[in-house]
Amino acid sequence: IPTKIFKDSEGASKIAAQEIAQIIKQKEKEGRPAVLGLATGSTPKKVYQELIRLHKEEGLSFKNVITFNLDEYHPMEPDAIQSYVRFMKEQLFDHIDIPSQNIHIPNGQLPLEEIPAFCKAYDEKIERLGGLDFQILGIGRNGHIGFNEPGSLINSKTRLMTLDMSTKLDASVDFGGLEKVPKRAITLGIEKIMNAKRVLLLAFGEHKAQSIVQAVEGPVTADIPASYLQQHQNAVFMIDEAAAANLT
């Protein structure tokens, strides 16, 4: 996987935001919407800040953008502090001109029996739009992408996933205790990520060094779902020096 190492997250985030802006403008020219796969968590925050700046200061419009978020905890109320709906509003959507009907985020409020049909419709919507033009990703300590935990298959669909202990431990800070972290989440499957025309995975900090070296230099394995990206034709990792520390 081509890997670009940056001094810090600011530099990487600016480049990532510029690339997204380019895709939006290119699609605009083609008269087609830009279909973007978005992530939450600490990793993409500065990318979203830069996109907001490009919107406010340089006139970048999101009128023509359709977004699909990777994941949402289940169960989760959309206005809860830890909700990814709330995160996306606060970090991006409330500050740009994206039409609300263009935003898609897995629904954390569905009764269990309605989740399979919801997930199927989520994948079909992406499919009908011709797939994702772009997917931004973070990476978990355990090598997860989205909430595709170790064991996820390369052709996995959008589905309800039981969260790994390492994922719940990382989330426990936000939830105020491990026992308060939801046991499951709805996640976009690996398949739609692999079919995205372009994938940018960002990773910052020494706590990502281990999963980065496994994803980039290790075998392609379900044990490290990010390693599947070795088989993607157009995926790039943009990481800082701390996350690159274990690369040879």
Catalytic center residues:
149
Pairwise CA distance, residues 230 & 5, whole Å = 17
Structure tokens belonging to residue 109: 């409020």
**Least distance in Å: CB of 99 to ligand F6R?**
22
Q: Compute φ and ψ for 4, nearest 5 degrees.
A: -105, 130
Could you tell me if 129 and 195 are in contact, meaning their C-beta atoms sit under 8 angstroms apart?
no
**Residue 55 found at the interface with ligand F6R (CB under 6 A):** no
Q: With contacts defined by CB under 6 A, name the span among 24-32, 108-116, 124-132, 135-143 that binds ligand F6R.
A: 135-143
- CA proximity to 47, closest of 99, 101, 88, 3: 88
Token pair of 205 as six digits: 């900090």
For residue 171, how many other CB atoms are within 10 A of its CB? 18
**By CB under 6 A, residue 138 contacts ligand F6R:** yes
Which CB atom, from 32 or from 81, has the smaller least distance to ligand F6R? 81
* 185 part of the interface to ligand F6R, by CB under 6 A: no
Task: State the CB neighbour count (10 A cutoff) for residue 7.
Answer: 9
Per CB under 6 A, the list member of 27, 55, 144, 232 interacting with ligand F6R is: 144
Closer Cβ to ligand F6R, 138 or 189, answer by number: 138
Cα separation, 79 vs 86, in Å, equals 6
Pairwise CA distance, residues 246 & 248, whole Å:
6
Q: Which of 56, 61, 68 is CA-nearest to residue 27?
A: 61
Q: Rank residues 25 and 45 by Cβ distance to ligand F6R and give the closer one.
A: 45
Residue 42 makes contact with ligand F6R by CB under 6 A: yes
Q: Does 3 bind ligand F6R (CB under 6 A)?
A: no
Q: Give the number of other Cβ atoms within 10 Å of residue 46's Cβ.
A: 21
Q: Per CB under 6 A, which region of 59-67, 107-115, 122-130, 136-144 contacts ligand F6R?
A: 136-144
Q: Is 239 in the site for ligand F6R (CB under 6 A)?
A: no
Q: Are 55 and 92 in contact (CB under 8 A)?
A: no
Name the one range near ligand F6R by CB under 6 A: 23-31, 100-108, 143-151, 235-243. 143-151
Q: Does 146 bind ligand F6R (CB under 6 A)?
A: yes
Examine residue 158 and tell whether it contacts ligand F6R (CB under 6 A).
no
CB of 148 to ligand F6R, least distance (A): 8
Pick 61 or 80: Cβ nearer ligand F6R = 80
**In the complex, which residues of this chain contact ligand F6R (CB under 6 A)?**
39-43, 70-71, 138-140, 144-147
